[in-house]
Amino acid sequence: MRDVSMGQYYPASSVVHRADPRFKLVILILYLVTVFFCDSFFSFGFMTFFVLVTIFLSRVPILKVLKSLRFVIVILLFTTLLMMIFYSDTSGAAPLAEWGIFHIYLNGIYSAIKLGWRLMLLVLMPTVLTLTSTPTELCDGLESLLSPLKLLHIPVHVFALIMSIALSLIPSLIEETDKIINAQRSRGAAFESRNPFKKIKAMIPVLIPLFVSSFRRADELADAMDSRCYRGAKGRTRMKKLKAKLSDFVALLFWCAITVCILFLNYNWCGWAFITALGI
């Protein structure tokens, strides 16, 4: 449980750490939109290359980032397997293998690989964001981006605060879960049993204390905020004001260009028409 990377901040001195959190959030949104538009192996490889470059620039150990995939690997395998088995090929191609009602096509294998690759990319970049940004920075960046909604009397500060508290409590909940599991294991809980029903039964004594501890922690946090006269965003100031740098605008323009390139590559007929017009 201690190997979970999501929600943990990795202190380092890098251009990614020093970037404005507002721009990092906007770039993340652009990245997620671009990943959903990826439809070819070339575009997936294109995005993977820039993810690796971002990890290199952040100076975060790549193994620490890849650990975030450990808890979604089951989902990746399950979804790719379902895609491969239940894929329906309308092109009339012969199946590679058949088992009763199940048919495996070559296009189904390609689609399954693309789906798993997409899910992997969707996990990696948000992990890099949380590893290179503190919850306070993300809270300030989100509140600044959503500040126009204040004109509609939407409590933007509350939403940003909820996200900040959730991110900051993830490591604490992981540590608490680890302690409860070790305590239950010392009492003979069958966490290593291969029987799935025994595993589920063993998790019940873990979930109940974890929920109780979470509610107790929430009550203590609420009391602490009340004792410090917290009354929301009204009259509050920031110790560190967000200031955008030239490198932030360059990074944003760079990712905008990547998004345009991916859209250009996926719409093959537009791309080929443009290339043909240039005589390439």
Q: Is the pLDDT of residue 274 over 50?
A: no
Rounded distance, CA 81 to CA 25, Å?
Answer: 32
More confident call, 102 vs 33: 33
Q: Is the pLDDT of residue 270 over 60?
A: no
User: What pTM was computed for the model?
Assistant: 0.72
pLDDT in tens, 142-191: 888 888 887 787 778 788 888 778 777 777 787 888 888 888 777 776 66
Nearest to 265 by CA among 24, 47, 30: 47
DSSP labels for 55-84? HHHHT--HHHHHGGGTTTHHHHHHHHHHHH
Nearest to 34 by CA among 21, 20, 46, 18: 46
Question: How confident is the model over 218-226, as a mean pLDDT?
Answer: 85
More confident call, 43 vs 7: 43
Burial class, 208, CB count within 10 angstroms (exposed 0-12 / middle 13-18 / buried 19+) = exposed
- Residue 201 has a pLDDT of 74
Task: For residue 233, give the DSSP letter.
Answer: B
Q: pLDDT-based confidence at 263, cuts 50/70/90?
A: confident
- In sequence order, the 6+-apart residues with CB closer than 8 A to the CB of 256 are 30
Nearest to 138 by CA among 146, 128, 130, 127: 130
Task: Report the mean per-residue pLDDT for the chain.
Answer: 79
Nearest to 189 by CA among 169, 209, 217: 209
- Domain definitions of the chain by residue range: 1-132+245-280, 134-244
- Residue 142 has a pLDDT of 83
Q: pLDDT-based confidence at 94, cuts 50/70/90?
A: low
- Residue 275 has a pLDDT of 45
Q: Is the pLDDT of residue 273 over 50?
A: no
76, two tokens: 């990746």
Nearest to 133 by CA among 56, 188, 37, 58: 58
Residues of the chain above pLDDT 90, percent: 5
